[in-house]
Structures are given as structure tokens and as C-alpha cells.
Amino acid sequence: MKRMSIAACLGATLAVAGCASTGNTSIRRETAETIDQKIHDDQTTQQQVRTLFGDPMVISFTDGGHEIWQYDFMTTRPNGTNFIPYYGVFSSGSRGMRKSLTIIFNNGIVWHHTLSASAVRTHQGL
């Protein structure tokens, strides 16, 4: 009976501790190849990009006056060791993936664009 209680508590904890995501979900499933099919340098307009991906998370400008739009999306999952009694107090973290779509515009037309995807890890504790 005691083992069933422990198993039920562990199962409930793992069920609650799911994935976390943040950012612009419109690029969640995008790859460099799918982006290149949708965005064409010297052809695609700002309005077309906004229609495809919505408003960017960050807008900035280069020294030369080009407008830069940044779209970011990150998803993470907690490490399984976070849920080990006592061990999780001293060492916890997460792992996941971050995507970043950067588009540089020249007079309202895409000048350059790139999508990068990187593995991310966090760690806290000793």
C-alpha cells in the first residue's frame, strides 16, 4: 500500500511538471527550410511577414537605418532529477530548444533573414 501511495505521488508530480514555452508560437514548428519557402530576400514585404508571423517581439534599427524584427520561441522541460527528494534541492534544471527568427528590412522589403535553433540548458544549485 505504501509503494502505491509513493508511486501515485510521483506520477502526479510528473504529470503536473510538464513543458513550459514562451515567445511567439508562430515559429514553433518552423525550420530554416520552411522559413526560406515563406520569406524571400528582396521580395517579401513587412506586411507579408506580419501576416505570416504576427507582430515581432523586438523591433530595432541598425546604424544604417535598416529595421530589424526579432521573433523568439523557447520550450523547456524540467530535468527528471528535479523530482528526486533532497537531490532536487541541491541540483535542478531544465533543457529545451530556442528558436530565433531575425529579419532585416530595407525600405519595407526583406533584405536578409535567418532562423537559428539552439539547444538550451539551465542549472541551479551546487
- 8-58 per-position pLDDT tens digit: 455 545 444 567 888 999 999 999 999 999 999 999 999 999 999 999 999
* pLDDT higher at 13 or 61: 61
Element holding 113 (H helix, E strand): strand 109-125
Among 76, 65, 53, 87, CA closest to 122? 76
Q: What's the residue count for the chain?
A: 126
What value does the CA radius of gyration of the chain take, rounded to a whole number of Å?
A: 21
* pLDDT higher at 3 or 19: 19
Question: In angstroms, rounded to a whole number, what is the distance separating the alpha carbons of residues 92 and 123?
Answer: 6
In the block, which residue shows the cell 519595407?
108
